């Protein structure tokens, strides 16, 4: 699932939850297909990653309250994190990228391979004069 697809899903679920007066919070009114029928592996990503399902429900609730996750560079970097603006700038410059789930993992370790990629990207940005 791409970040755009994920964000669309969050906002659509928030819209439907508001329209039908549903509670999107965990143990509320949003259910996976598997939770209803008991056997179907649907939506597979959320079935295999229950913490992501919980986070999704929280984000739907946040959007329902008037918050917005669209435009957020990485879902796991809080806006009030001390490095959030620099992480956003590094992403905009093409120096860094998140994982396929839209996460940055700000406290994860940097591998030598990742460091090499960042150095080459930085060199290219400097060379191009961005």
- What are the residue boundaries of the structural domains of the chain, listed by start? 3-64, 84-128
| Residue with tokens 């809080």, as numbered in its chain | 78
Cα separation, 1 vs 25, whole angstroms: 21
Residues of the chain with pLDDT under 70: 1, 26-27, 67-72, 130
pLDDT tens digits for range 4-39: 777 788 888 988 988 898 887 766 888 899 888 988
98 with 80: CB under 8 angstroms? no
């Amino acid at each position: 699932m791409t970040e755009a697809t994920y964000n669309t899903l969050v906002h659509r679920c928030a819209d439907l939850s508001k329209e039908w007066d549903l509670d999107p919070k965990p143990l509320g009114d949003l259910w996976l297909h598997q939770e209803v029928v008991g056997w179907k592996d649907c939506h597979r990503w959320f079935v295999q990653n229950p913490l992501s399902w919980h986070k999704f429900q929280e984000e739907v609730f946040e959007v329902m309250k008037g918050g917005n996750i669209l435009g957020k560079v990485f879902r796991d970097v809080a806006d009030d994190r001390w490095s959030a603006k620099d992480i956003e700038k590094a992403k905009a410059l093409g120096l860094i990228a998140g994982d396929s789930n839209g996460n940055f993992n700000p406290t994860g370790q940097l591998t030598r391979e990742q460091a090499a990629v960042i150095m080459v990207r930085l060199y290219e940005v400097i060379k191009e004069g961005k």
